[in-house]
Structure 1
Amino acid sequence: MRFNLRANMLDEFFRARIGPKVTAPLWVAHQLENTANVYLPRYRRTAERKPISRIGFELAALAAQWRCLPFHYFRYELYRTGVDLAAAATYVPDTVFYSRLLPAVNRSVLLLDDKIACKRILGDAGVPQPLLLMTGEQGSWFDRTGRPVPADSPTALDSALGGIAEVVIKPARHTSGGAGVLVLANEGGELLQQDGAPFSLTAYGEKWGGWLIEAFVRQHDELAAFNPHSLNTFRVITHLHPVHGPRVLYCLFKSSTGTDAVDNACNGGLYVRVDTATGAVDGSAHTTALTRYTRHPVSGLAFADQKISTIRRVVEVAERAAVHFPRTPVIGWDIAVDHDAEALIVEGNSSPSLMNLQRTHGGLAHTLGRSLITDHRRS
């Protein structure tokens, strides 16, 4: 017993303390690439920017404050004339968030980041989510009850899928940004891609490893009005307090900017702030390429005119889900709303996108940052 406890503590130590140091060179290279390809070109195109002497002074001040290279100065366009140093100081650098605070606070993340494990936990707790139909691992297929499904039997596959005509397959682990997520047609156990080409579960498993298939969500008309091509979802950030329980900190609405089936920002999608009390949508949406939209590029809907009528249900289901992961207090939930206005947990993320939050809500040093620092000290 003592050995197992020590082994678990050692595993958490390496994940929270050693892992970020080992991956630091890759993280710096990633930020340098983004700065060179996206952020500096935007800086050069911006007319209303501070004098170079002022920018240099603020870069030095932020580097000293956060003890890291201040890539975030360009990431969040803090060089603009309307942003003073006090406001710039409230923006948390990604290095601090992902390498220092979040790994020290969020533990047992595999229960959340393994999509199959997460769905099982939430399913046992009765939290609404898209219906799980099948899982697969290393060439073995299973129905939702865990019974094997013969790989050479379309009839057995169709039975496992419940005869549902449209399904979604996604990798179970180690992906982000909607990578590997596909909408498939099921024609009597024959799976087809959107272009009509046959789909191979075996080839998919060889590429992505473990996978799961769930029923396609027919989204609420209110959300489909933004973009009918993608499943438009909400990213809801919850913080689980050990005494006061879960609370929602932030909510974003996400949508594809084209005809892609996924709405992820990493895939070119947009994101816009939603007021969790009223459901009012902010007037300006953003992308990771620093593009701003006041209207949805597909439907033309003006964001400032929209209000989400189901926002209370979105908030409530996020809070219901958060309590089942007590060792992972900060979670980014992706939540869909189906045709019947029921909010469904699509998945949870132990590493929610800081850029999306700070682009829509401003600097988070005094809100989410403070909560993480408090949690870190408490642990």
Structure 2
Amino acid sequence: MIKKIKYEILKSYRHYYGYGYRGLKKILRRCSYHHHNMDIKLVALRTLLTMKPSIRVVDKKVENEYRSKWKRLESTVPKSFIKIYPSFTGIESPDFVPSPLFYNIIEPILNNYTYSISFADKNMYAKLFDTSLQPAVVLRKIHGQYLDQNYQHVEDVDGKITHLASTEEAKFILKPAIDSRGGKKIYLLKSENGKLFLRGQIVDNDWLEKNVGDNFLIQRFVQQHPFYARFNPSSLNTMRVYTYRSVKDDVIHVLHAMLRVGKEGSLVDNMSGGGKAIGITHEGKFKKCANSSAGEVFSKVRDVDLSNGLDVYMFDEVQKRAKEVAATQFYSRFLGFDFCVDENDQVRLIEINNIDIGVESIQRSNGPLFREFTDEVIDYCEKHKKGFRYTIH
């Protein structure tokens, strides 16, 4: 009898604790949303103040349609985005997605955050799709375990590193397996005299233990194709390709693409590090200008003149690969892929973005994010808004 009473008390405690815990998560999530919204709005305001193209006066009817359309998902619809995007693209459309609504409502509904994290792990890519699509992995660490490219345990890490460094002038990329957004903690390693170096420091087991986390990988350096190297030779310039799996029929569509070019001297091509974005048309041609996160526009990138509508090298193959990989991402309907083309004309997948996917640059470059699928996305999110769970990262 006593055991039964204790069990009932425990059940009751767990029941109320569950409600309290879920409520607390929701409150914290909403607080983080407000903080995130403020960051986004401040960036938008800064862009408005510094952007080089003149601020376009959008037709009042379009502005009202924009507000009415997005109010279905959130009562507060920031006006800044309907001012910024038309000023860059010349397109006046109510379909431009306000960033706060995308990050707070649309992305968490289209992509299951809980499972997406696992699919975003670069150490898991080889388990999901063709390894020939990826830069060759030579050493990885998963949850504290050192493994080789075939996921076999590595006993002698220093011996493995010495073997890698035995090839003179070999280069490798060290990066986190999860969350390398903004090019954070991505390093270029070089071999010299049988050792690996990072800016003069010897990279060995001790160095990795002290300076890198429990989840990372070391890949062979990808030498990009000369076509892309001329935009900036120091960075690996990647094509960001956005795909959408329709909520109506599950057909995968390539929505947009752009080339991201790193700042001169930079190893990475991220916009946050001073890079530029060049929109790509659906016909596979570059748009006639590039833009930066600071609101600047450029008709030339380095010595490449964009005014002639240059053809994008191997764009059709990149789109094909994007659709293939998107088909393996069962828990995400909206994705941003980073692809490059190497010196041997091979398309390489550098990263899958399925959480906090950057959408500002592509709307500045190409136009409304979801194109003709905007209304179906809004309908779907409005229907599922009350049902989705808040997730704290």
TM (norm. structure 2) is 0.77
Q: Deviations over 1:337-372 (max 9, x none)?
A: 011111111110014211012101223365353353
Q: 1:245 and 1:314, CA in 2 relative to 1: closer, same or farther beyond 3 A?
A: same
Matched pairs, number: 353
Of 314, 318, 321, the residue aligned with 2:322 is 318
Tell whether 2:364 aligns with 1:356.
no
| CA-to-aligned-CA distance 1:134-155 (integer Å, 9 cap, x gap) | 11256543221223335662x3
How far is the alpha carbon of 1:253 from its aligned partner? Answer: 0.8
CA separation of 1:152 and 1:221: change in aligned 2, threshold 3 A: closer
Aligned: 1:255 with 2:256? no
Shift of 1:188: 5.9
Counterpart of 1:114 in structure 2 is: 121
Cα displacement (A) at 1:30: 1.3
Match in the other structure for 1:238: 243
Kindly state the Cα deviation for residue 319 of structure 1 after the two structures are TM-superposed.
1.1
Query: What is the CA deviation profile of residues 190-223 of structure 1, one whole-angstrom value per residue up to 9, with x for unaligned ones?
Result: 2212x43434665555555211111111111111
Between the two structures, name the one with larger relative contact order (CA 8 Å, sep ≥ 6): 2
**CA pair 120-185 structure 1, distance change in 2 beyond 3 A:** farther
Q: Offset at 1:229?
A: 1.2
Alignment partner of 2:300: what SS?
Answer: coil
Distance in structure 1 (CA, Å) of the matches to 2:96 and 2:167: 49
Q: Residue type of the partner of 1:112? A: F
Indicate yes or no: 2:312 matched with 1:303: no
Task: Report the equivalent of 2:14.
Answer: none
The match for 1:3 is: none
Query: For the residues of structure 1 that align with 2:350 and 2:262, how far apart are their CA atoms?
Result: 16
Alignment TM-score, normalising by the size of structure 1: 0.79
* Shift in CA distance, 47/374, structure 1 to aligned 2, threshold 3 Å: closer
SS at match of 2:182: coil
**Counterpart-to-counterpart distance in 1, 2:311 and 2:87:** 30
> Residue 139 of structure 1 contacts residue 205 of structure 1 at CA under 8 Å; is this kept in 2?
no
Q: Once the 2 structures are TM-superposed, how far is the Cα of residue 159 of structure 1 from its aligned partner?
A: 3.1
Which stretches in structure 2 are left out of the alignment for 5+ residues?
A: 1-18, 388-393
Structure-1 separation of matches of 2:98 and 2:272: 19
User: Can you give the 5+ residue segments of structure 1 that lack an aligned partner in the other structure?
Assistant: 1-9
Q: 1:32: Cα distance to partner? A: 4.4
CA contact (8 A) 1:50 1:81 kept: no
What percentage of residue pairs aligned between the two structures are identical?
20
What residue in structure 2 maps to residue 5 of structure 1? none
Distance 1:300 1:76, change over 3 A: farther
**Separation (CA, whole Å) in 1 of partners of 2:207 and 2:42:** 32
How far apart are the structure 2 equivalents of 1:233 and 1:274?
A: 12
The alpha carbon displacement at 1:272 in A equals: 1.1
Q: What does residue 7 of structure 1 align with?
A: none
